[in-house]
Structure 1
């Protein structure tokens, strides 16, 4: 999910994870749901590039709903700590490490393991311009004399723009620190990141070579048929799947609420690899898969909860064809059944 420079605005218009697709195709497909997991209200990431955080938190939320629990988690809390890290990297590298709001789903898991998490109602802000805040952090980094000064200045900025952090989390009569609360909603090793590419051996983990994986997260590599079976099996067993993939295809239509491949070609492991190496499959966006459906012709689709608001044909949900998921998935994060 690359943050492209202004010179390539036209390209960014088809790759940015914060873009609302403005294709007003009025034809609405009818779907029959085979599986639809519970989910928290659809959120709107606005013009931020925080889809990875929205999607992975939504995955955790749905997992708890399926267990009879109710939890709605704060993206702003994660954004605060991610930006704090970014400011530190920028300062120590003398600006070599450029600040970014982008990331991957496994990064979210690492951040909550390290910094904790808060409920949405405990820490949320509206209409935050994170891009503006990031520019301000660059200025603070460039003008700070040491890390202590930068940290203090960044904390004041966060308190002013997002809000002061509560010291405790209160949930169902219990009191937690943010770390204790995080460990109560997501245990270490609870989720497994998977991908499917042939430039690495199957059955091994590797650092996935996409721009947003700057934190060098590991992904377990499996054949695509294994990944597709894992997605279906997880959903039918009541477990959501965090999906990271390509939304730059002309067949990905947010307003219509459907993602389909427009070209008929062999859908194989080799074709996936060719598309990835030719940069025709790009790492654009994250959503959470919460169900399985079929259309009037029996064609299978996976139901995704997006984070672009509710302004589409299905109130913010998307229906991704099975072929689209097979060809255009960069990676998934699933419940680790071997825990």
Structure 2
């Protein structure tokens, strides 16, 4: 893939992938080696929906790299999750709380149950305050005396707060149901969920023990060097990767557009990862789409990530994650099965 010098012109190229911004170009220490096409940078606001933004962005980029174009609705994923959460809260007799936190794998779980909608068919022009909506849904579930009453009240509230669901989906002159549209976009079985921790055997799937794994999804466990090779290979082949990991490190700086480890060493190994995970120094905090490879002036390798915090940083909402940051701080990744090579 053609190399692009990420100086003055490179910044304009990256920003053009996001919302138009008038800003002065800045010099960058990075040179891009691989750049995957992306849809515009979005802003998740106060919502904890990074998992949906990142996974849908990854699916969108997969289509763009194949010469197709699709823009998917995060609001539809959020609505279906809230309905699920309300039902669970009702039947669990008010145990716990309605939450919208999750892992990127939940997109596939929700898609399998409810399908998917394109962005143009279901989006809200005014930013939805999802934490407030989640609290309202919980109050409704607590006050409902039957499932039919719950569903009626929840649908009315979500219609008012997020928007009315479309009667039909029209794409290129064809009419789709949400399930048919989802199948036309991708199927969950086309993607793999990978992780790398030594408290489970490698080569076997296991239920990842993080609080946000609400649906108890399985992840294939591979050695960390295999994980990193797979990520790099996928990006070099033009396939985006959905990344889920820890952003609590002081070296994760959105405004600067860079994530590095302050006490960086030459290499981190499987034992380093395991210690950080077991001592909760690596936690499941955030999801982003990995959409490229780069290096700095000293030759250190970086991944380009599309964030969902809006375009207001020096790279128009994109970030550069050091290779060692990703190696140590990754919780899980999601990518097309076509990219897998051991």
| Bigger relative CO (Cα 8 Å, ≥ 6 apart) | 1
User: Contact 2:237/2:339 (CA < 8 Å) preserved in 1?
Assistant: no
Cα deviation for residue 332 of structure 1 reads 0.2
C-alpha separation in 2, matches of 1:258 and 1:94? 45
Q: How does 1:263-278 map to 2 (within 5 A)?
A: 263-265=263-265, 267-278=268-279
Deviation track 1:184-240 (CA, whole Å, cap 9, x = no partner) reads 001231100000000000000000000000110000000000000000000011110
Cα deviation for residue 338 of structure 1 reads 8.2
Deviation track 1:86-109 (CA, whole Å, cap 9, x = no partner) reads 001111001213211111111111
C-alpha separation in 1, matches of 2:78 and 2:27? 35
Q: How does 1:1-339 map to 2 (within 5 A)?
A: 29-125=28-124, 126-265=126-265, 267-337=268-338
User: Contact 2:239/2:339 (CA < 8 Å) preserved in 1?
Assistant: no
User: Contact 1:89/1:97 (CA < 8 Å) preserved in 2?
Assistant: no
Gaps (5+ residues) in structure 1? 1-26
Corresponding residue of 1:14: none
Gaps (5+ residues) in structure 2? 1-25
Give the secondary structure class of the aligned counterpart of 2:85.
helix
C-alpha separation in 2, matches of 1:86 and 1:141? 9
**Number of aligned positions between the proteins:** 314
C-alpha separation in 2, matches of 1:264 and 1:44? 30
Tell me the TM-score normalised to structure 2 length.
0.90
Give the secondary structure class of the aligned counterpart of 1:216.
coil
User: Contact 1:28/1:313 (CA < 8 Å) preserved in 2?
Assistant: no
C-alpha separation in 2, matches of 1:188 and 1:129? 29
Alignment RMSD (CA, Å): 1.5
C-alpha separation in 2, matches of 1:228 and 1:338? 12
Stretches of 4+ aligned residues off by more than 4 angstroms: none
